[in-house]
Amino acid sequence: DGGITQSPKYLFRKEGQNVTLSCEQNLNHDAMYWYRQDPGQGLRLIYYSQIVNDFQKGDIAEGYSVSREKKESFPLTVTSAQKNPTAFYLCASRARDRGGYGYTFGSGTRLTVV
């Protein structure tokens, strides 16, 4: 079945470390997104990519970086510059027609700073 796979499900990071969250999709979707969710809150957009080798900052990009070398993959790196990285991270993708389709979400990665 097609879908989005996020890994790992749980991730622990020490202060000052960079960590990379994986997001892979086999839906042949062009656009991919990273969102952050804090407890009791909605989702906030970190980065998005509409095509391979191109990506744009969302509302809260500081302290994060991404790459889009392949259509299927959109990894997110949480750098040491992100001061409050503990959160639930969700990856999503959509087909080309932004006006007609909902997004498909992965099951998320819960990142905790220890």
Interacting residue ranges for another protein, rule: CB under 8 A: 4, 6, 31, 33, 35, 40-45, 48, 50, 56-59, 88, 90, 92, 98-108, 110
Find the shortest distance in angstroms from Cβ 9 to another protein.
9
Looking at beta carbons only, is 16 or 42 nearer to another protein?
Answer: 42
Comparing CB distances to another protein, the nearer of 2 and 16 is 2
Ramachandran region, residue 7 (left: φ > 0; alpha: ψ -120 to 50; beta: rest): beta
* 80 Cβ contact list (under 8 Å, min separation 6): 15, 16, 17, 18
CB of 41 to another protein, least distance (A): 6
Closer to another protein at the Cβ: 31 or 80? Answer: 31
Q: Min. distance of Cβ 31 from another protein in angstroms?
A: 7
Q: What is d(CA 88, CA 29) in angstroms, rounded to the nearest whole number?
A: 23
Looking at the chain, list the stretches that DSSP marks H as alpha helix, in order from N- to C-terminal side: none
CB 108, min distance to another protein, A: 5
**C-alpha–C-alpha distance, residues 3 and 25, integer Å:** 6
Q: Is 31 helix (H, G, I), strand (E, B) or coil?
A: strand
User: Which is closer to another protein, CB of 15 or CB of 54?
Assistant: 54
